[in-house]
Amino acid sequence: MLLDARTRTLALSADLTGEQLLGPRLAIVNPPLWEIGHLGWFQERWCLRQRPDGTLSPSMLEDADALYDSSAVAHATRWDLPLPTIEATLDYLHAVLERTCERLAASPQSTWLRYFAQLAASHEEMHCEAFTYTRQTLGYRCPRDLAGLKARRADGDCPGDVEIAGGEFMLGARATDGFVFDNEKWAHVVRIAPFRIARAPVSNAAFAEFVEDHGYTRRELWSADGWAWRTRANAKTPVYWRREGDAWLERVFDRYEPLAPHLPVIHVSWHEAQAYCRWAGRRLPTEAEWECAAASDPAGGAPRRYPWGAAAPDESRANLYGSTPGRVDIAACASGDSACGCRQMIGNVWEWTADAFRPYPGFVADPYAEYSQPWFGDHNVLKGGAYATRAHLIRNTWRNFYQPHRRDVLAGLRTCPR
C-alpha cells in the first residue's frame, strides 16, 4: 500500500515544473510543492517519529513541523514558506519511505506499526485523489497515471428508482471490518422509513435540463445559503461547463470536450445538488438511506462491505482508480449492483447526501485526532468514492466530507423521490 501510493504520488507530480509547483493562491487547493512535502512529513510523523508514549522524536528534516504540519500551518501561509526544492523534497520522501519499509520488515508482527502504516498509506492515497482534482482545478494536463488508461465504451442510461423496505439498519463499521476511520465507528441501529432511490447517479443530460430551464437563476429553487453562495460565485452552470452554439462543452483537465450525456454529472456543490433536487421534485438521500441501499443483505445478514458483497472491487463492478482515465456512463458496471438494484454506489463519482457530517454515538477520536473531529457540523457527508479513489480505501461505511460550497471535488449526486 505504501509503495503503490508513492508510485502514484510521483506520477502525479513528475511533470510539474516552475510556477506549477506552487500554483495560484486559491482557498480550495494547496501548493503542489507543499502537498508533496506534507506527505513525507505525515508518514514520518506517524511511522517513524511517533513513540508509544505519544511523544515525538525529531524529524530528519530541519523545521519539518513548521513547514508541513497541516493542523498548525495556516493554509494561506503555505505559499510563503521557505519550502525545500522539489529535488530535496523528493529526497525527503524517499528517505522516509525507505526507513518506514525497513521498520516494517524488522517488526512484521507489530499491530501498532501496521496501523500507522495503513494510516499513512490511506492518507497519501486521499491526497493523490486531491492532487487529481487539483490538476483539474488548475487546468493542468491529465496526470500520467490516468492518461495511459483505456477509456470505456459508451454504456448509456440507467433510469428509474428502486424501492427499499426500510426498517432497522446497522449504520457504520464493525470491529471485524479491519482498518476503518474513527468517524465510521461504530455500527449502531437506525430506523429507516420505506423509501425509493434512483438506480444511478444524475447524468450530465439530466443536469443540463436543469441548467437550460434557468435553474441557476430561479431563486425559489435555492436555499438562503445556497443562493448567497451562487451569487458570490456568480455560478450559472457547473463550474467546468461552457456553451458553444447549441452544444455544451466540459473542461476535462486542460481540454474542452463535448458534454457526454450519460456520464454522471461531476464537480457540483451540495448547494447545486439541492437546487437540482428542488427543480426535479426530488431530494438527496440521507446518509442512512444511502448506506442501507448500498449495503442491505436480502437474506437478513450483516450489512455488506460492498454493494455486491464481500469480493474485492474489479473493473466489472466499480470504476475506481486504475480502471479508466475518468468517468464511465451511468449504466456501466452492472456486476456491481447492490442487492436492491442500485448501480455505481461504489466508484465513478462521490455522491452528496442530505446530512451534515456528525459523530456517531459514543465517538472517540483515533490517534490522528485532526482527521474528523475538527470538521463535525459544517461539512456534509458524501458516499461511494470516485474514479480517482483507490479500491482499498473505499467501502460502504466510508464517510467523505466537504463543505457545501465545494465543487472542485469529484462529487455528483443520486436522488430520491420526495
What secondary structure does DSSP assign to 11-54, as a single string?
HHHTT--GGGGT----TT---HHHHHHHHHHHHHIIIIIB-TTS
Q: Are residues 159 and 137 in the same domain?
A: no
Domain boundary among 127, 147, 167: 147
Name the residue type at position 364.
V
- Alpha-carbon gap, residue 288 to 354, rounded angstroms: 10
Q: Are residues 122 and 254 in the same domain?
A: no
Q: Are residues 333 and 248 in the same domain?
A: yes
Domain of 15, in residue numbers: 2-147
> DSSP 3-state assignment of 393?
coil
- Alpha-carbon gap, residue 50 to 106, rounded angstroms: 17
Strands 167-171 and 282-283: unpaired
Domain boundary among 147, 163, 183: 147
Q: Are residues 297 and 176 in the same domain?
A: yes
> DSSP 3-state assignment of 170?
strand
Query: pTM of the full predicted structure?
Result: 0.97
| Contact status, residue 104 vs residue 69, Cβ threshold 8 Å | no
Q: Please tell me the predicted confidence (pLDDT) of residue 410.
A: 98
Q: Are residues 104 and 220 in the same domain?
A: no
| Contact status, residue 315 vs residue 307, Cβ threshold 8 Å | no
Q: Please tell me the predicted confidence (pLDDT) of residue 304.
A: 97
Residue range 259-269, pLDDT digits in tens? 999 999 999 99
The whole-number mean pLDDT for each consecutive block of 10 residues of the chain, a chain of 418 residues, reads 98 94 94 97 97 90 97 97 97 98 96 96 98 96 94 95 96 97 98 98 98 98 98 98 97 98 98 98 98 93 96 97 98 98 98 98 97 97 98 98 98 98
User: H/E element holding 212?
Assistant: helix 204-212
Which backbone phi and psi does 207 adopt, to 5 degrees?
-70, -35
Question: Could you tell me the CATH number of the domain that includes residue 205?
Answer: 3.90.1580.10
Q: Are residues 180 and 283 in the same domain?
A: yes
Q: Are residues 260 and 322 in the same domain?
A: yes
Q: Are residues 222 and 310 in the same domain?
A: yes
> DSSP 3-state assignment of 231?
helix
User: H/E element holding 188?
Assistant: strand 188-192
Domain boundary among 95, 130, 147: 147
Q: Please tell me the predicted confidence (pLDDT) of residue 333.
A: 98
Place of cell 439530466: 206
Q: Are residues 48 and 172 in the same domain?
A: no
CA angle 208, 214, 219 (to 5 degrees): 125
Q: Are residues 335 and 279 in the same domain?
A: yes
- Alpha-carbon gap, residue 388 to 108, rounded angstroms: 30
Question: Could you tell me the CATH number of the domain that includes residue 93?
Answer: 1.20.120
Q: Specify the number of domains making up the chain.
A: 2
Length of the chain: 418
Q: Are residues 55 and 165 in the same domain?
A: no
Q: Please tell me the predicted confidence (pLDDT) of residue 215.
A: 98
User: H/E element holding 67?
Assistant: helix 64-68
Residue range 95-148, pLDDT digits in tens? 999 999 999 999 999 999 999 999 999 999 999 999 999 999 999 999 999 999
Q: Are residues 160 and 138 in the same domain?
A: no
